[in-house]
Structure formats: structure tokens, C-alpha cells
Amino acid sequence: MQLTAFSAPGRFWRGNLHTHSDLSDGCLSVAEVCRRYAAEGYDFLAITDHFVGRYDYPIADTKPYRSNSFTTILGAELHSGAMENGELWHILAVGLPEDFMPSHSPDFVPVDGQETGPQLAQRARDAGAFVAIAHPHWSGLTLADARSIEAAHSVEIYNHGCAIGCDREGGGHVLDLLLSDWRDLSLIATDDAHFTEPDHFGGWTMVKAEANEPELLLEALKRGDFYSSQGPELKNVEIRPGEVFVESSAVASVIVQGPGQAALAVHGASMTRTSVPLTRFRGADWLRVTVVDGAGKRAWSNPVRVTADASQNFWENVTQG
């Protein structure tokens, strides 16, 4: 059973899905943000400015900055309603139509009479967007909050801006608990770049598509045909009888995670073809893979469901393998 990112047709395209410009609280123009990402070798970019009244609800028009080697996807970071801690929701929406109707969100504080976060996320998904729960650790997201966002496609597992600015980078705990609720979710790594500190070029998605075109990239994101990285390259992740097989650039650790306490790591030097035994995961209904290189940089596969997709004798073969 091979993850679809590695079996789907096409090639991988590198992109950042969470970025800000001076249309909201970033310090660079839309044109300059696009120029810098293109200059750094990115294939695509979504500028996702804060969709609040203070900034006149911007959806950055990045279409003029597309070229034969670089493209963009329109989007925004949406805000409406209070989480359990009383603070405003942050919801990433990539692939929003330019005429997406604003919520009643005048600023970065909840107000009476506005949509809830879950309602706004659902409206964005219904409009065609790829919806992600942004920086759960930074936001102070509770499990009840996370469970309420039923429209989410994905969770930010790594947010480079939050790592640099406050050491609250991750969303893995929230993601894993939702996966154990049988939620169908992928995971993304992003910059959340504002260019006010070294918050850029630190986390990205590698999307498998037949061409570097906005519509094809968006469809692949929704299907989960991608992996996320800070540097290492994933070339194949495949669940076989008795093992998870991982092919990658040279790494020092390959870790397989599943529900609860199920996790197992293989460590070594310059590993490129790694087998992780599956006996620790007997009966698990989901698995995902993290690789770590010698510099501590990570890459993450999307989760895969085991029992739903595997043959009836899968787990019997695991123990035999």
C-alpha cells in the first residue's frame, strides 16, 4: 500500500501555503514577496493575508506575478468567532475565490453577531478552498476547538514563524488526536512569513501534480497528494507486510507514528532506504512517517489509514513479516 503522493502521476512542486504581505501585517509588497519566493526556487506560493476589516478584507491578487516557472494560489487567513480561550480563530484558506464574502470581523478580537470559526471554515470549503487549522500550539487550541472544525482538510504540523517567534511550532498532538477520532486529515508545513524576522523559507509542501498550475495544485492538496518538509526529501512511503518502507534523501532517523503510544524509530547514518517493523502497530487504524536528517531538519508524510484500505489478512501478514 503506497501513499498516493508517491503513486500519483506528475512530479513534485515546492510551495508555501501561508504568507503575509503589507496588505495586512507583513512588511513587504505582494510583488516583492512573490519575487523572493521565486528567487529562492519555489514553484508556487499562496499569500494569505489576514481577512479582517482593519485591512479591508484583502485577498492578494498575485496573478500578475505568475510565470512559466512560478505560479500562485489565491487565499487568506480567516478570522471569526472565539475559541475556548476567548481569542479569535485563525483558519487558513488556500484557493479562495476573489469574491469570497467577508465575515463580520472588524479586527483581531471576537465581536457579537459574527460567524463562528467552524461556520467560516465550512463556508470557505464550500467555496472551493483547501482549509487548514493554523498553528494550533500558538493559538492555544483545545481538542474541543479542533474537533469543532469539521471542514478542515489539514492541520499545520510545522509553522516556521511560530517556531522562530515563540517556540510554539507544532500541531502534531492535535493532529494525532483528530486522526484517532477517524478524521480524514492531512498535514502541512508552512512559513507564516511576515518578513519582520527570520520567519521565511523554513517549511514547505511538496505537491504532486501533472503541471505547476493553480487548479491542479489545489486538487492535489485536497486529495492529500503531497508531503511536507523543512529540508529532507521523501521519495516513497509504502506499507508492506511486516514493515513500513521509506525511501528518502540521506537521513539519520525514520519514525513511524500511530495512535496512542504506538511509535517506533530506526536510527542510522545516511539512511536512504529504511525498513521500520510494523509489529508495534498491530491493529492501528492510521500511521504516518517522520524523517529527520543529520541537521535535525524533518519531513512528514501524510497519514495513511491501514484497516480501511488494507487486505483482510494485512495484520496477520504483519506479524509473519
Q: Are strands 243-257 and 286-292 parallel, antiparallel or unpaired?
A: antiparallel
The structural domains of the chain, with segments of one domain joined by +, span: 9-229, 234-320
Q: Is the pLDDT of residue 72 over 90?
A: yes
- At 58, which amino acid appears? P
| pLDDT recorded at residue 112 | 94
Going from the C-alpha of 269 to that of each of 201, 213, 233, 301, the distances in angstroms are 26, 37, 16, 21
| Averaged pLDDT for residues 124-150 | 97
Q: Give the separation between CA 137 and CA 151, rounded to whole angstroms.
A: 19
Q: Please, are residues 32 and 23 in contact by the beta-carbon 8 Å criterion?
A: no
According to CATH, what is the number of the domain 234-320? 2.60.40
Which tens digit of pLDDT belongs to each residue from 304-316? 988 644 544 555 6
**Which residues fall within 8 angstroms of residue 116, CB to CB, at 6 or more apart?**
80, 81, 89, 148
Q: Say what the pLDDT of residue 299 is.
A: 98
Q: How does pLDDT run across 240-277, given as a tens digit for each residue?
A: 989 999 999 999 999 999 999 999 999 999 999 999 99
Note the pLDDT of residue 147. 96
C-alpha 308 chain-centroid distance: 23
pLDDT per residue as tens digits for the range 118-131: 999 999 999 999 99
What contacts 41, CB < 8 A, 6 or more positions away? 14
Over 90: is that where the pLDDT of 320 sits?
no
Decide if 281 contacts 317 (C-beta within 8 A).
Answer: no
Residue-by-residue DSSP string for 40-52: TT-SEE----EES
As assigned by CATH, the class of the 9-229 domain is alpha beta
